C-alpha cells in the first residue's frame, strides 16, 4: 500500500497534473456558481478535453471540476438563494438569511472552511480505508437502503419552523407523491403522467429546486414593488467581516467533525450522493441541537450552514469509493467519470489497485491538493464575489430569471420543463403565503424515489412480505433508530414534565416542612 501511495504522490505532484487540479477547481467553481449547471454538466463538459490526456491526468481534472462545482454551488445559494446545484439547496436555508443579515462574507468564508475540512477528511479516510469501506457498502441490501431512507425522513422536523410540523409532514407527503410521477422503475408502467409523454421521465429535482427557491424569491421581490423602487445601493462595508470569532469556531467545530464522517459514509453508499448527505446532515444537526438552538435553524444558524457544506464535500469524496474499488458509480457525476475512464482504457474495480496503481492513488492524493487549491483560490475572492449582493435588484432579478430558466432548459432541452417550472412556482407561491415550508417537499422527493425502488426490491425478494424489516439485524436497527427519533420530541417532553413535577413536589414538600 505504501508503495502505491508513493507512486500516486509522484504522479499527482507532476507539474502538469497540479495544473489540471488548479484548472479543474477554477472551472468547476465558476460553472457550479451558475444555477442549473451543476457538477454533472461541469464534468460532462470536460469529457472532450480528457480524450487527449493521460488517464490519470484526465480523472484528476474531472475530480477537480467535480468538487469545485459542489464548492461553487454554495456561493449562489448563499448570495441570491438560487442553488447552483442540488447538493447546495440546503446551504441556502441558513446561508441566505445570513447574507440578508449583512453577514455574507462570514457565510461564504464558513462555507469555504467547511468544504475544505469535509473534503480533506474525506480524502484522508479514502486514502486508508477505501478497500475495507467498499466491502461494507456492498453488504448493504435493498432492505437496509429502505430503512436508511425512512431514517432520513425523520429529519423532516429539521426543515420546519415552530408550530409547522404538521405542515412540514404534509409537504413531505407532497414531495413523496411528486417522486412517483413517471415510469415505474420495476414494471415500466407510466404513473400519474395524465397521458403526457413529457412526464414519463418524471419531474426533475433541479426544476423543483429552481421553482420553489429561485423563482418564488424573484416573484416575492416583484410583489414588493415599493421595496424595489426604494432599493438603495448596498454599502459593501455592510456585507460583514469574513472572520469567525473563537466562540463561533467552537460552536461549529463538533458539527464539522460529525458531518465530515457522516457525509463520507453516505457518499460511499451507491445511489446516495452529496445531495442526500447534505439533507441528512442538516436534519441530524438539528436533532442534536438544544430546544433553544433549534429555533435558530432556518434563520441564519452557523451550524445549519456548516453541516450541509461539510457533508456534501465529504460525500463527493466518498462517492469515489464505489467508483474506484467496485466500478459502480455512486452518483450521476461519477457515472460520467466511469464512462470517461473506460473510454481511456482503464477499468475501475477491484483490480484497479494492481493494474493502474498510478491512476488509483494519484486521484486520491490529488483530492487533498484540490481542496487546498479551492481554499486558496476562493478565500481571497470572497470580497469580490460578495459584490453580487450590491447589484441593484432591478438588474439581479432578470439575471436570476435568465440563469434559472436557461439552466433548467439545458438539462432536458424541453420547453415543457419551463412550463412545468412556472406551474410549480405558482403553487409554491400560494403555499409559501400560507406558511408551508418548501424544504420538506424536496426532502420527500429526493428520498421518495430511492425508498420506493428499494422497498419494491425487498418485497419482491421476500414474496410480498414485510419480514425483511426484522430478518436482518442492520435493517431492524436502522428502523428502530428512526422510530426513536420520530417519537423523541414526545419522549423528551414526557421526561421534562416529570422532572418539572418532581421539582415542584420537592419545593412544596420543603415549604410544608
CB-based contact 122:313 (threshold 8 Å) = yes
Angle at 314 between CA 313 and CA 316, to 5 degrees: 65
Distance in angstroms (rounded) separating the CA atoms of residues 342 and 329: 12
Where do the DSSP E strands lie in 87-163? none
Long-range contacts of 195-200, Cβ-Cβ distance < 8 Å, separation of 24 or more: 196/416, 198/414, 198/416, 198/417, 198/420
Report how far apart the first and last C-alpha atoms of the chain are (Å, whole number): 73
Q: Which helix (H) or strand (E) holds 449?
A: helix 439-461
CB-based contact 195:188 (threshold 8 Å) = no
Tell me the CA distances in angstroms from 95 to 77, 92, 185, 384, one per residue in order.
7, 5, 36, 17
Taking Cα atoms as reference points, which of 80, 96, 87, 81 lies closest to residue 38?
87
Question: In the numeric block, which cell numbers belong to residue 71?
Answer: 464548492
CB-based contact 234:284 (threshold 8 Å) = no
Counting as low any pLDDT under 70, the low residues of the chain are 1-2, 35-38, 41, 51, 84, 130-131, 133-135, 137-138, 155-163, 224-240, 270-272, 326-332, 335, 349-351, 353, 385-391, 393, 488-490, 492-493, 495-496, 499-513
Distance in angstroms (rounded) separating the CA atoms of residues 216 and 442: 15
Distance in angstroms (rounded) separating the CA atoms of residues 152 and 154: 5
Distance in angstroms (rounded) separating the CA atoms of residues 492 and 287: 12
Distance in angstroms (rounded) separating the CA atoms of residues 336 and 295: 41
CB-based contact 450:279 (threshold 8 Å) = no
pLDDT per residue as tens digits for the range 349-377:
666 767 777 777 787 788 788 888 888 87
Q: Which helix (H) or strand (E) holds 206?
A: helix 205-209
**pTM: predicted TM-score of the whole model, two decimal places:** 0.72
Distance in angstroms (rounded) separating the CA atoms of residues 98 and 79: 9
Say how many residues make up the chain. Answer: 513
Rounded to 10 deg, the angle between the 15-33 and 2-12 helix axes is: 70
**Can you say whether residue 485 is alpha, beta or left, with left for phi > 0 and alpha for psi between -120 and 50 degrees?**
alpha
**Can you say whether residue 244 is alpha, beta or left, with left for phi > 0 and alpha for psi between -120 and 50 degrees?**
beta
* Beta bridge partners of residue 191, listed in sequence order: 182
pLDDT per residue as tens digits for the range 72-130:
778 878 887 777 677 778 888 888 888 888 888 888 888 888 888 888 888 888 777 76
Amino acid at each position: 500500500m505504501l508503495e502505491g501511495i508513493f507512486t500516486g504522490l509522484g504522479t499527482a505532484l507532476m507539474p502538469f497534473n497540479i495544473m489540471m487540479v488548479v484548472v479543474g477547481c477554477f472551472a468547476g467553481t465558476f460553472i457550479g456558481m451558475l444555477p442549473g449547471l451543476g457538477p454533472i454538466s461541469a464534468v460532462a463538459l470536460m469529457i472532450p478535453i480528457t480524450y487527449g490526456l493521460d488517464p490519470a491526468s484526465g480523472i484528476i481534472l474531472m475530480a477537480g471540476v467535480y468538487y469545485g462545482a459542489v464548492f461553487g454551488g454554495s456561493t449562489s445559494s448563499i448570495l441570491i438563494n438560487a442553488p447552483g446545484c442540488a447538493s447546495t439547496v440546503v446551504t441556502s436555508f441558513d446561508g441566505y438569511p445570513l447574507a440578508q443579515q449583512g453577514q455574507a462574507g462570514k457565510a461564504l468564508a464558513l462555507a469555504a472552511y467547511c468544504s475544505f475540512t469535509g473534503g480533506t477528511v474525506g480524502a484522508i479516510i479514502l486514502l486508508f480505508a477505501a478497500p475495507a469501506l467498499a466491502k461494507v457498502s456492498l453488504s448493504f441490501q435493498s432492505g437496509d437502503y429502505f430503512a436508511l431512507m425512512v431514517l432520513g425522513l425523520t429529519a423532516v422536523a429539521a426543515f420546519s419552523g415552530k408550530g409547522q410540523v404538521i405542515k412540514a409532514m404534509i409537504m413531505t407527503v407532497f414531495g413523496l407523491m411528486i417522486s412517483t410521477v413517471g415510469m415505474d422503475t420495476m414494471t415500466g408502467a407510466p404513473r400519474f403522467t395524465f397521458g403526457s409523454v413529457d412526464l414519463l421521465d418524471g419531474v426533475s429535482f433541479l426544476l423543483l429546486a429552481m421553482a420553489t427557491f429561485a423563482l418564488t424569491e424573484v416573484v416575492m421581490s416583484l410583489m414588493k414593488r415599493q421595496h424595489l423602487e426604494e432599493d438603495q445601493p448596498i454599502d459593501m462595508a455592510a456585507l460583514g467581516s469574513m472572520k469567525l470569532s473563537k466562540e463561533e469556531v467552537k460552536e461549529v467545530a463538533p458539527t464539522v467533525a460529525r458531518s465530515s464522517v457522516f457525509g463520507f459514509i453516505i457518499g460511499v453508499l451507491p445511489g446516495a450522493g452529496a445531495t442526500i448527505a447534505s439533507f441528512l446532515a442538516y436534519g441530524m444537526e438539528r436533532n442534536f441541537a438544544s430546544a433553544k438552538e433549534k429555533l435558530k435553524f432556518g434563520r441564519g444558524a452557523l451550524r445549519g450552514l456548516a453541516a450541509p457544506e461539510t457533508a456534501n464535500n465529504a460525500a463527493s469524496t466518498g462517492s469515489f469509493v464505489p467508483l474506484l474499488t467496485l466500478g459502480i458509480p455512486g452518483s450521476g457525476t461519477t457515472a460520467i467519470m466511469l464512462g470517461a475512464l473506460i473510454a481511456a482504457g482503464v477499468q475501475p474495480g477491484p483490480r484497479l489497485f494492481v493494474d493502474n496503481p498510478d491512476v488509483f492513488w494519484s486521484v486520491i492524493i490529488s483530492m487533498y491538493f484540490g481542496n487546498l487549491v479551492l481554499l486558496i483560490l476562493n478565500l481571497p475572492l470572497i470580497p469580490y464575489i460578495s459584490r453580487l449582493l450590491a447589484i441593484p435588484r432591478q438588474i439581479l432579478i432578470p439575471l436570476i430569471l435568465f440563469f434559472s430558466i436557461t439552466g433548467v432548459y439545458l438539462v432536458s432541452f424541453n420547453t415543457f420543463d419551463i412550463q412545468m417550472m412556472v406551474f410549480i412556482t405558482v403553487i409554491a407561491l400560494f403555499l409559501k403565503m400560507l406558511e408551508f415550508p418548501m424544504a420538506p417537499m424536496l426532502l420527500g422527493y429526493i428520498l421518495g424515489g430511492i425508498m420506493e425502488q428499494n422497498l419494491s426490491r425487498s418485497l419482491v425478494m421476500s414474496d410480498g412480505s414485510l419480514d425483511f424489516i426484522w430478518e436482518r439485524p442492520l435493517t431492524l436497527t436502522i428502523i428502530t433508530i428512526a422510530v426513536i427519533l420520530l417519537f423523541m420530541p414526545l419522549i423528551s417532553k414526557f421526561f421534562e414534565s416529570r422532572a418539572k413535577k418532581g421539582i415542584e413536589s420537592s419545593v412544596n414538600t420543603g415549604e410544608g416542612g
